[in-house]
Each structure stands twice: as C-alpha cells, then as structure tokens.
Amino acid sequence: MVFAHDTEVALQSAVTLANSALEPDTLQTIEQLDAFFTEFEYTGRRDHDRAELAAVRAIRRQLLTLLTADRDEAVALVNEMLASAGAVPQLVRHDVWDWHLHAVGPERDLPTRILVETAMAMIDVIRSDEMSRLGRCADPECGGVVLDLSRNRSKRFCSTTCGNRNAVAAYRARRAADR
Ligand SMILES: [Zn+2]
Ligand SMILES: [Zn+2]
C-alpha cells in the first residue's frame, strides 16, 4: 500500500468522479450517483434529488484540476478547499470503521464532503511527495486522470477501454509498417 487505506479510497473515488465527466458522461442519473456512493462506501447525508446530482457533477472539473495540478498548485487548491468548507479535522468512529479522520460533519452536503475528503487525501500525497502517482491518461485524446498505486508504477491509461484502444492502434501501426 502506498498510502493509508482511507487516503487510497478517497483518491480512487475522486479519480472515478473526475473521469465520469469524460465522453460518454457516466454520471447523469441519481441511480448512477447511488452506485458511486455505494461503491466507495460513503456515509452521511444523501438528498437523492436532482440538485444534489447537479452539485456533484459540478465539482468534477475542480477535482480534475486538483488531481492533475503540479505540487505547488495542488497545495494552494487544497488549502483553499479546506478553508472555504470550514474544515476542522476530527477523529471519528462510525459504522464499522475504527478511528479515522473527517474534516466536516456528516450533515454537510455530499459535494462538500467529497471535496474535503479529496483535499485531506491530497495532503498525504503532497506531504510524501508522491504527486507522480497522479497524471493524465497516456491516450492523448482522452484527458482522463490516472491514479497509479502499483508497485512498479506501470499504469498508463485511465481505463481498460483506453488501454485496449491504444493496444489495437499500436498493433495496426506495426502491421502497416511491416507491409
Ligand atoms: Zn468515516
Ligand atoms: Zn483514458
């Protein structure tokens, strides 16, 4: 494990959310938001309405910017996010989880909690100087974010779709060169 478990989950969920804005957009319905919430084991307030969905969709650009920023830019963005949410780190224990950090209460709206959790996770990334774990997808057409938590830092594509598309393109290019 590169980071603490809760940091890795927060980073994975932020990357998934940022990449959901790529074509085709995979966060267009309340059901898709439900699936995201469940997959990443979020807890706390859910409004289950169009306004909440729109507000979560609206933070995706901000997440993409943070996740692909350079280290100094990321510091400024993290500090700004924490300050504007009035974040106060507190150790909490709830549901099945032992003591861990939350910086805003469970009654705050979902997009605010996601932003603050991402910012808290980025604190670990920045402090351990591991920004190279985050980057842009190697597919130049994609624009997605890649989170590489592998030991040998081998992950280049944001998704298997991008990986497969590039493998096929590389194969075709080799065949064309052979002819
Ligand atoms: Zn928690
Ligand atoms: Zn990609």
Domain layout of the chain by residue ranges: 5-132
Residue 44 is predicted with a pLDDT of 95
pTM over 0.85: yes
Helices (DSSP H) in 59-109: which residue ranges? 60-67, 71-84
CA 92 – ligand 1 centroid, Å? 7
- Amino acid letter at 16? T
Residue 83 is predicted with a pLDDT of 98
156 neighbors 136 (Cβ within 8 angstroms): no
Residue 178 is predicted with a pLDDT of 87
Which ligand has an atom closest to residue 120 CA?
1
Residue 31 is predicted with a pLDDT of 97
Residue 8, CB half-sphere, CA atoms under 13 Å: how many?
8
pLDDT in tens, the chain (179 residues): 889 988 999 999 999 999 999 999 999 999 999 999 999 999 999 999 999 999 999 999 999 999 999 999 999 999 999 999 999 999 999 988 899 899 999 999 999 999 999 999 999 999 999 999 999 999 988 999 999 999 999 999 999 999 998 888 888 989 998 88
Residue 38 is predicted with a pLDDT of 96
Which ligand has an atom closest to residue 5 CA?
1
Which ligand has an atom closest to residue 95 CA?
1
Which ligand has an atom closest to residue 160 CA?
2
CA 174 – ligand 1 centroid, Å? 50
CA 107 – ligand 1 centroid, Å? 12
Using the Cα atoms of residue 135, residue 138, residue 144 and residue 147 in order, give the sign of their dihedral. Answer: negative
CATH 3.40.50.740 fits 5-132, yes or no: no
Residue 140 is predicted with a pLDDT of 87
CA 145 – ligand 1 centroid, Å? 25
Residue 58 is predicted with a pLDDT of 98
Residue 167 is predicted with a pLDDT of 87
Distance CA 17, CA 6 (A): 16
Which of helix, strand or coil describes residue 112? helix
CA 102 – ligand 1 centroid, Å? 6
* Nearest in space to 3 (alpha carbons), one of 170, 175, 83, 123: 123
CA 24 – ligand 2 centroid, Å? 12
Residue 1 is predicted with a pLDDT of 81
CA 68 – ligand 2 centroid, Å? 13
CA 141 – ligand 2 centroid, Å? 8
CA 2 – ligand 1 centroid, Å? 20
Which of helix, strand or coil describes residue 97? strand
Residue 89 is predicted with a pLDDT of 95
